[in-house]
Amino acid sequence: MFAASMRTLISPSLAPFSLHLPKPALFSSLLRVSRYPLTDSAFALSRFPVDSHRSTVSSRELKTDAASKSFSSFSAPGEIHVVVGPMFSGKTTTLLRRMLAEREMGKKIAIIKSDKDTRYCVESIVSHDGEKFPCWAIPDLASFRERFGLDAYENQLDVIGIDEAQFFGDLYEFCREAADKEGKTVIVAGLDGDYLRRRFGSVLDIIPIADTVTKLTSRCEVCGKRASFTLRKTEERETELIGGAEVYMPVCRSHYVSGQGVLETARAVLGSSQQNAAQRTM
């Protein structure tokens, strides 16, 4: 009797619950909806899943298109080429030939030199061989953009040549910005060392950011061998002493080291030349 009473107490509570259980199909639909519980569109996505392959391709196409647009608006970096050597090694001649070659390829060019160099012509660079080309003679490189014209500099200039680069204190900053940020090709020519074989100006500073470096040599005026150094004939001590063959001579290592004898020879040659010149004017 006790067992029967227990069945009576339990059955009424279980029976209604079992009658209201959802059917399997309905229950599975509810599970799908519960994964996207917020909107009708989420429900639609659950019923009609997106083609994952097509979605990936479209995403890639969008990314590629955006990247190509970004790349097209980016200015490609330029280049820096450095030509160094002693006096009378052909640095200016090499610079001129490379600049003219760039112009023949359709590039717009401009050549800069320091206004300190007035040996041959103020508004032209002139090699020791007599080659000549118009240039911008300026005190510093920072002023070149404005003098050339900002719009013309940005849109019409491709290649910049810098002669006697050792006289520009802002050489490194100008070359780095012109090549890295403005897409210009910069060709630099200058002395890598002074008459004491010490660094001269900022020319050596740009070698780490240069694409190419060319070291030229001359002929020793004493023995005719390859000359890598510049010897000053006069007694002046300042680093910046602008002059030509009357002040400097290219020499090999041997005759640079034995410089006293070379200086005596050079002074004798210089004195003889001056004496001959004086006699011709009499």
Q: What is the DSSP string of 246-260?
A: TTEEEE-HHHHHTHH
Considering the domain architecture, whether residues 237 and 165 belong to the same structural domain is answered as no
The answer as to whether 263 is a domain residue is yes
Average pLDDT of the segment spanning 66-95:
78
CATH of the domain at 99: 3.40.50.300
Q: What is the mean pLDDT of residues 79-101?
A: 95
**Residue 206 shares a structural domain with residue 264:** no
How many structural domains compose the chain?
A: 2
Residue 264 annotated as catalytic: no
Domain check: are 109 and 205 in the same one?
yes
User: Looking at the structure, do residues 263 and 275 belong to the same domain, yes or no?
Assistant: yes
- Per-residue pLDDT band for 266 (boundaries 50, 70, 90) equals low
Whether 28 is in a domain gets the answer no
Query: Of 119-128, 204-213, 232-241, which range is least confident?
Result: 119-128
CATH number at residue 244: 3.30.60.20
Rounded-to-integer distance, Cα 141 and Cα 152, Å: 16
How remote is the C-alpha of 235 from its chain's centroid?
Answer: 40
Token representation of residue 279: 């006699």
Overall average pLDDT of the 104-108 stretch:
96
Domain boundary among 154, 187, 214: 214
Would you state the pLDDT for residue 237? 85
Residue 4 pLDDT exceeds 70: no
Q: How far apart are CA 279 and CA 276, in angstroms?
A: 5
With tokens 């080659």, the residue in question is 131
Q: State the pLDDT at residue 34.
A: 39
| pTM exceeds 0.75 for this model | no
**Section 147-174 average pLDDT:** 96
Residue 8 above 90 pLDDT? no
Q: Are residues 253 and 227 in the same domain?
A: yes
Across all residues in the chain, what is the average pLDDT?
A: 77
Contacts of 193 (CB under 8 A, 6+ apart): 86, 199, 200, 229, 230
Q: Please tell me whether residues 227 and 192 are part of one structural domain.
A: no
Domain boundary (187, 214, 241) is at 214
| 260 confidence band (pLDDT: 50, 70, 90) | low
Indicate the angle between helix axes 24-35 and 40-47, nearest 10 degrees.
Answer: 120
Please report whether residue 52 resides in a domain.
no
Domain that residue 234 falls in: 217-282
Q: Are 264 and 231 in contact (CB under 8 A)?
A: no
User: Do both 221 and 235 map to the same domain?
Assistant: yes
Q: Are residues 126 and 207 in the same domain?
A: yes
> Which residue among 104, 146, 154, 164 is the active-site one?
164
Structural domain contains residue 1? no
Instruction: Pick the last residue of a domain from 162, 181, 214.
Output: 214
141 shares its domain with 251: no
206 found inside a domain: yes
For residue 213, what pLDDT is reported? 98
User: Highest mean pLDDT range out of 72-76, 119-123, 146-150?
Assistant: 146-150
255 domain residue, yes or no = yes
User: 223 and 210, same structural domain?
Assistant: no
Say whether both 188 and 268 belong to one domain: no
Selection from 244, 207, 142, 156 nearest residue 188 by Cα? 207
Residues 169 and 280 in one domain: no
